[in-house]
Amino acid sequence: MDKIILFTPVGGTDPISSTNCRDGSMLHICRNYKPDKVIMYMSKEMLENQEADDRYRYCLNRLSKLQQHEMKYEIVERRELTEVHEFDYFYEDFRKIIHQIYDEMDETDTLLLNVSSGTPAMKSGLLVLQTLGEFPAKMIQVATPERKINEHIHKNYDVELLWELNEDNEDGSPNRCREIKCPTLSKIKKEEIIKKHILAYDYSAALEVTDTMQKDEVESYRDLLYMASQRMMLDFENVDKMIRKTGIQCLPVRGSGERKYFEYACNMEIRLKKKEYVDFIRSVTPLIVDLFELILKKRCHIKIDDYCRLSTRDGKGHRRWSMQQLKDTTVLKILNDGFAGKFNGQDISSKHLKVLIERLDTDQHLIELVRDVRSVEDNVRNLAAHQIISVTEEKIQKLTGFSSDKIMEMIKELFNYTGINIKKEYWDSYDEMNKIIISKM
């Protein structure tokens, strides 16, 4: 219960370096982590050192007495091991040994792996095992006192003298251990998938992958992903909660009355980027009506709500023109003229608002823009709404005379006449948000 087990290859500077009289990595980890059990992996050369002067157990025994902490030792002997540079050997051998260690551990125990002692092939074998994620463990790296490569001197090694001269035995000696984060291969793969979903603006899919990972692995960006997914759904209540929680502002247009139009348009552009042409076309009409209405309010001082009523036909709320409120007004005269006297209280539509803008505004560029956008809506709206048909870029171009990108440009230009302050860079806000999320991973 709650045991700390250290598995450590034994290297040339263990247990104490004869060049600087300081702990080697194995002894230094034991000094700072106080393991209950130390499993030492020894090649032929290290076994010969051990048999010559018992140096490894001697230093561990002295440390145990100094700290008044009992440690048990186990030596894994590899007397036949002379080719200490062969990675494949160590990967397979370490895998079997650590599997056996885990069989004897319970869930409260902690395994430490020394990735500073031994040959490069030994260190790599341990790192790859951790990357594959089979055996959760703490990877401990130990810096050399000089912060450079240790020299290995094995002749005339006096372990008792080196222990007495060891500066790490002094009070206040620095802890040179560092726990390194070695991401598992599964984590690496999942994060790459998450990044691809983010760059494709598919935040719901990214969240699904995120929620299959450990909480501590995703805590730095999970809330941001949720915020992005709610932004795509135009759920501003939850977006605002996440902005307050994370301290990261993703909405360039802040006013609650204005941001819904801008965010809706951003949503449209993302559908276009994803080549979801049917959804793009279906989303045109609601926004066009709103933009035309905002233009009339800003430039012509006409508030459409002053001339309409709410109908609950089919249990749904529809705004309809109110003939009573229109009576004897300039608006009614323009609508009657525009529709050859056949205008009678209908649902508010973009064709009505287009006529009002044409008659009340003097900006010819705006009038042409409104006509073009209204023409686009008229030509493709029914196609997407009432027919089971493939909607492609080519079909949109053929039916409207405009590419889908040009249609989006015209919609963006309409915003310039609404009174909503939108800077050019605001339209890149989703990409900027994506960069922030990815930077937190």
Q: Which domain covers residue 62, as residue numbers?
A: 4-182
Are 177 and 190 part of one and the same domain? no
What average pLDDT is seen over the chain? 89
Please report, as a single letter, which amino acid is at residue 343. Answer: F
Q: What is the mean pLDDT of residues 143-148?
A: 70
Residues 146 and 68 occupy one common structural domain: yes
Determine how β-strand 72-77 pairs with β-strand 318-321.
unpaired
Instruction: Assign 113 to helix, strand or coil.
Output: strand
Same domain, 174 and 196: no
Please tell me the predicted confidence (pLDDT) of residue 37: 97
In a domain, 197, yes or no: yes
298 part of a folded domain: yes
Residue 141 pLDDT exceeds 80: yes
351 touches 378 (CB < 8 A) = yes
How much is the average pLDDT of 90-102? Answer: 90
What is the average pLDDT across 79-89?
76
Same-domain status, 113 and 10? yes
Confidence band, pLDDT 50/70/90 cuts, at residue 343: confident
Supply the CATH number for residue 78's domain.
3.40.50.10770
CA-CA-CA-CA torsion for 128, 129, 131, 136, nearest 10 degrees? -150
Instruction: Tell me which of 17-21, 144-148, 262-266, 282-286 is least confident.
Output: 144-148
**pLDDT for 164-207, tens place per residue?**
999 999 988 999 999 987 766 778 889 999 999 999 999 999 99
Strands 308-311 and 318-321: antiparallel
The Cα 332–Cα 324 span in angstroms is 10
Lowest mean pLDDT among 26-40, 124-138, 167-181, 265-279: 124-138
List the single range of 47-61, 139-153, 204-218 with lowest mean pLDDT: 139-153
Lowest-confidence range among 42-46, 183-187, 381-385?
Answer: 381-385
Q: Tokens 């339209």 map to which residue?
A: 427
Q: How far apart are CA 311 and CA 318, in angstroms?
A: 5
Q: Evaluate if pTM is beyond 0.75.
A: no
Euclidean distance between CA atoms 225 and 242, whole angstroms: 10
Instruction: Give how many domains the chain has, as a whole number.
Output: 3
Residue 126 included in any domain: yes
Instruction: Kindly state whether residues 357 and 282 are assigned to the same domain.
Output: yes
Q: How far apart are CA 113 and CA 8, in angstroms?
A: 6
Please indicate, yes or no, whether residues 290 and 200 belong to a single structural domain of this protein. Answer: no
- The answer to whether the beta carbons of residues 399 and 379 sit under 8 Å apart is yes
163 and 220: one domain? no
The residue type of 131 is: T
User: In the numeric block, which tokens belong to residue 116?
Assistant: 């500073």
For residue 175, is it within any domain?
yes
- The verdict on 212 and 292 lying in the same domain is no
Last residue of one domain, picked from the residues 182, 203, 233: 182
Q: What is the DSSP string of 33-46?
A: H--SEEEEEE-HHH
Q: Is residue 391 part of a domain?
A: yes
Q: Are residues 147 and 175 in the same domain?
A: yes
The DSSP bridge pattern shows strands 138-142 and 308-311 to be unpaired
Phi then psi dihedrals of residue 401, to 5 deg: 85, 0
User: Parallel, antiparallel, or unpaired: how do β-strands 37-42 and 4-9 relate?
Assistant: parallel
Tokens representing 112 are 């430490």
Considering the domain architecture, whether residues 223 and 346 belong to the same structural domain is answered as no
Let me know if residue 204 belongs to a domain: yes
What pLDDT does residue 26 have?
96
275 in the same domain as 162: no
- Residue 133 counted as domain residue: yes
- Strand, helix or coil for residue 138: strand
Task: Find out whether the peptide bond into 183 is cis, omega within 30 degrees of 0.
Answer: no
Distance from chain centroid for Cα 232: 16
Q: Do 196 and 338 sit in the same domain of this protein?
A: no
Q: Is 301 helix (H, G, I), strand (E, B) or coil?
A: coil
Residue 8 domain-assigned (yes or no): yes
299: left (phi over 0), alpha (psi -120 to 50) or beta: alpha
Q: How far apart are the first and last CA of the chain?
A: 34
